[in-house]
Amino acid sequence: MLPAGWLHAASLAWPGHGAALWWLQLLSLALLCKALLATPRRRDGALLGWLFGTSWLAGTFWWLFTSMHTYGGLAAPLAAAGVLALALFLALYYAAVCALFKHFNFTHRAVNALVFAACWLLAELARGVLWTGFPWGASGYAHISGLLFPLARWVGVYGIGAAAAGLAMLLAQVRRSDLRDPKIWAMCGYGAMLLFGLHAQRQLTLNNYRHEQPPLSVALLQGNIPQDEKFQSGTGIPLALQWYSRQLYASQADLTLAPETAIPLLPQQLSPGYLDGLRSWFSTWGDHRAALVGMPLGNAAQGYTNSVIGWSPAEPSAYRYDKHHLVPFGEFIPPLFQWFVRMMDIPLGEFSQGALVQPSLHWAGERIAPTICYEDLFTEELAARFAQEAQAPTIFANLSNIAWFGDSVAIDQHLHISQMRALEFERPFLRATNTGATAIIDHRGNVVQQLPSAQRAVLTGEVTGHQQRTPYARWMAVTGLWPLAAWALVVLGLALWQHRRGKLRCATS
């Protein structure tokens, strides 16, 4: 199961070229399903799920070692143990649902697929929500293309993951004799027709849509400030202040984005006139230019926030967005873990939380909604911004600094996360990052332009906003993840009822 789990991790972003391989995700999960069907006991099923999950998750976010050891100063054995411990803990969800699947032990193949899909969905939801949630590397992210991506506008990444789990279980149950069974081919044909219909409906909707506003010219700044120098007063700080201010003043774009903590100092720590000069510059350009820039705000008495400030002629005062979903150990310290954080050297490691729904930046007829770093991982939180159609974002702007993880596969994984959000909400995504992936993603989920990683450069291009809400955005804004959880629980409830009926029949016959 360890190799199968590693292949599952690699399907999310293949090492080397970073592509998401939807077919590999299905095949690797089918290997787990095949092993589950072959084992007779629940505890064996739990062990298989735990091994697969541990290998998959450790292979997905191994780059946490870089942040803890290389930049956090934690001893290498402790950093490696920390990554493994997190993977082992999160894999318990998959161990539990694999044991639950073995509890039913159905023989009908379609029922097995449905029950396994429900089990898998519950595990993914639990990982994404409990303990502040860490759904990075959810199986649905392998499907930004391929067979299942048209489902994104209906059921999102978790629904795609459940559909993939059901399909993997069906693949695991294929027998050689099925190749001669017309019923099997008919079912495959019906499934293909359904997916083709969803794809055609999506294409028709997108092709018929006409946006009222002209394209917005954008400039996305990628400073490539080394993480080990980023907060150093003699190297990274002056470099960042000089380079980003120069690019902001020189930009000819309607909207300029600078990444998370592009300005690495608090306002009171900056030279007099630094921020006032930028605000004054953007407020004097009439209807032409605006900017969003990442920087920390606050003080010791009121607390600190990881924030985005913005300037535009339309705003009488500076726009502000405060990060809502904070990173454990990086931006806040969970209870009982102060000792662990004291072993690392991470500046400004305790932030205050912003509100879940905050106003977008209204500029050039668009509503531009910032997210900071891995906030775009939490689809249910972004969906909350679509509750009122008149205030729903038309463009998302993600400002990130994942230099903490080096030039690793985390860059590609995060890009795929933004692509999935674009597919779910049919909104363009602008990504301004310190080291990558700085990119423009259209409302179809396609990467239109992208800078090479680990280079200091500016990406210029155009983006067109989008107004219509997808079915996913509509129902998620009202209910959150509950309908997905309810579907899984109903399926498992019916399976439990059928299982008990079958046992009762055996006992009375």
Q: Is 373 a catalytic residue?
A: yes
Question: Cα separation of 89 and 86, whole Å?
Answer: 5
Q: How far apart are CA 415 and CA 418, in angstroms?
A: 5
Q: How far apart are the first and last CA of the chain?
A: 39
How distant, in Å, are the alpha carbons of 97, 98, 118, 143, 290 from that of 123? 7, 9, 9, 18, 42
Catalytic residue of the set 119, 124, 230, 323: 323
Of 329, 377, 311, 321, the residue nearest 353 (C-alpha): 321
DSSP reduced 3-state for 308: strand
Selecting among 98, 102, 119, 260, the annotated active-site residue is 260
Supply 412's token pair.
């590609």
- For the chain, give the longest Cα–Cα distance: 88
Helix, strand, or coil here: 63?
coil
Burial of 175 (0-12, 13-18, 19+ CB in 10 A): exposed
Cα separation, 134 vs 453, in Å, equals: 25
> To 5 degrees, how large is the angle CA 421–CA 363–CA 448?
40
* CB distance 372 to 468 below 8 Å: no
Report the alpha-carbon distance of residue 227 to residue 347 in Å, rounded.
11
Q: What is the DSSP letter of 332?
A: B
Beta-ladder partners of 367: 362
- Per the CB < 8 A criterion, the answer to whether 323 and 305 are in contact is yes
- The catalytic position among 230, 331, 373, 380 is 373
Contacts of residue 267, Cβ cutoff 8 Å, sequence gap at least 6 = 275, 295, 297
Nearest to 45 by CA among 32, 55, 29, 31: 32
Cis peptide before 437 (omega within 30 of 0): yes
Query: DSSP letter string over 288-301?
Result: S-EEEEEEEEEETT
- What residues are labeled active site? 260, 323, 373
